[in-house]
Chains A and B, each alone.
Chain A
Amino acid sequence: MTEGVLSEAGSSVTPDSVQRHRLPHRRPGAGFGVAAVGLAIAVAFPFVISNPAITSIGIFTLLFVCAASAWNMFSGLSGYIALGNTVFFGVGAYAIAIGAEHIHLRADDSVFLLVPVAGLVAGAFALPFGWLALRTRRHTFVVITIAFFFIFQLLAYNLGGLTKGAAGMTLPVPQWDPVTYNIHFYFAALIVAVATVLGAWLIHISRFGLELRTIKDDEDRARGLGVLTERVKMQAFVISGIFTGLAGGVYAYFVGSIYPPDVFVANFDVTIAIMTFLGGLGTISGPVLGALLLEPLQQYFTLRFSANGVYLIAYGVLFLVIIRFLPAGIVPTVTKGIRAYLRGRTERGMTVLPAAAPDQPDPLPTSRP
Chain B
Amino acid sequence: MSFLEVREARKRFGGLTALDGASLSVREGSITGLIGPNGSGKTTMLNVITGYEKMDAGQLEFCDRRLAKPRPDRICMLGIGRTFQLTRIFGSLTLRQNLVVGSRAVPHARRRELYSPERLNWLLDFIGLRRLEDERGSSLSYGQRKLLELAIILAQDPKLVLLDEPAGGINPTLIGHIAEHIRELNRKGMTFLVVEHNMEFVMGICHEITVMQQGRDILTGAPEVVRNDPRVLDAYLGGALEDEPEEESASGSRGPAPAADPGESR
Which of A's residues lie within 8 Å of B, judged by CB? 1-15, 17-19, 21-24, 207, 210-211, 213-214, 216-218, 220-228, 282, 352-365, 367-369
Contact = CB atoms under 8 A, between A and B. Distances in A.
Given A226-B106, A227-B104, A359-B263, 16 more contacts: A6-B154, A6-B190, A10-B112, A19-B97, A21-B134, A23-B134, A207-B100, A217-B92, A224-B75, A224-B82, A359-B170, A361-B127, A364-B177, A365-B126, A365-B128, A369-B122
A206 to B, nearest CB: 12
Contacts of B73: 223-226
A8 B119 contact: yes
A359 B133 CA distance: 15
A358 B134 CA distance: 17
B55 interface: no
A221 B76 CA distance: 11
B93 A359 contact: no
A356 B129 CA distance: 13
A170 B250 CA distance: 66
B115 A18 contact: yes
Nearest to A218: B88
A282 B72 CA distance: 28
A6 B101 contact: no
B227 interface: no
Interface stretch (B37-45, B135-143, B211-219): B135-143
Given A8-B119, A361-B127, A364-B128, A222 B90 contact: yes
Interface string B49-72: 010100000000000000000001
Given A8-B113, A223-B72, A227-B101, A363 B92 contact: no
A364 B159 contact: no
Contacts of A368: 122, 125-126
Contacts of B156: 225-226
A320 to B, nearest CB: 26
Contact of B96 (A11, A21, A360, A363): A21
Contacts of A225: 73, 76, 101-102, 104-105, 152, 156
B103 A15 contact: yes
Contacts of B93: 210, 213-214, 217
A355 B132 contact: yes
A363 B178 CA distance: 11
B81 to A, nearest CB: 9
Given A3-B157, A214-B101, A217-B93, A361 B113 contact: no
B111 interface: yes
B64 to A, nearest CB: 13
Contacts of A17: 117
A301 B243 CA distance: 66
B260 to A, nearest CB: 13
Nearest to A10: B113
B25 interface: no
Most central of A6, A214, A367 by chain B CB within 10 Å: A6
A17 B263 CA distance: 34
A359 B97 contact: no
Given A2-B191, A210-B93, A226 B77 contact: yes
B185 A360 contact: no
Given A21-B134, A361-B143, A9 B100 contact: no
A9 B185 CA distance: 17
26 contacts: A2-B29, A2-B190, A6-B119, A8-B116, A18-B120, A22-B134, A207-B100, A214-B101, A223-B72, A224-B52, A226-B73, A226-B102, A227-B102, A227-B104, A228-B104, A353-B132, A354-B139, A355-B139, A357-B132, A359-B263, A360-B143, A361-B177, A362-B131, A363-B128, A363-B177, A364-B177
B116 A10 contact: yes
A218 B89 CA distance: 8
B90 to A, nearest CB: 4
Given A5-B188, A227-B101, A11 B173 contact: no
Nearest to B106: A226
B159 A2 contact: yes
A156 to B, nearest CB: 38
Given A8-B116, A217-B92, A210 B128 contact: no
Contacts of B112: 10-15
A367 B91 CA distance: 27
Contacts of A23: 94, 134, 136
A94 B69 CA distance: 47
A6 B133 CA distance: 19
For the complex of A and B, the 4 pairs showing the least CB-CB separation, nearest first, are: A226-B105, A359-B143, A355-B139, A361-B128
Contacts of B127: 361, 365
A308 B137 CA distance: 47
A207 B152 CA distance: 16
Contact of B173 (A10, A12, A360): A360
Nearest to B153: A225
Nearest to A362: B128
Contacts of A360: 143, 171, 173-174
Contacts of A1: 159, 189
Contacts of B129: 361-362
Given A15-B111, A224-B72, A369 B118 contact: yes
B180 interface: yes
B177 A210 contact: no
Most central of A13, A14, A358 by chain B CB within 10 Å: A358
Contacts of B222: none
Contacts of B85: none
B141 A359 contact: yes
Contacts of B6: none
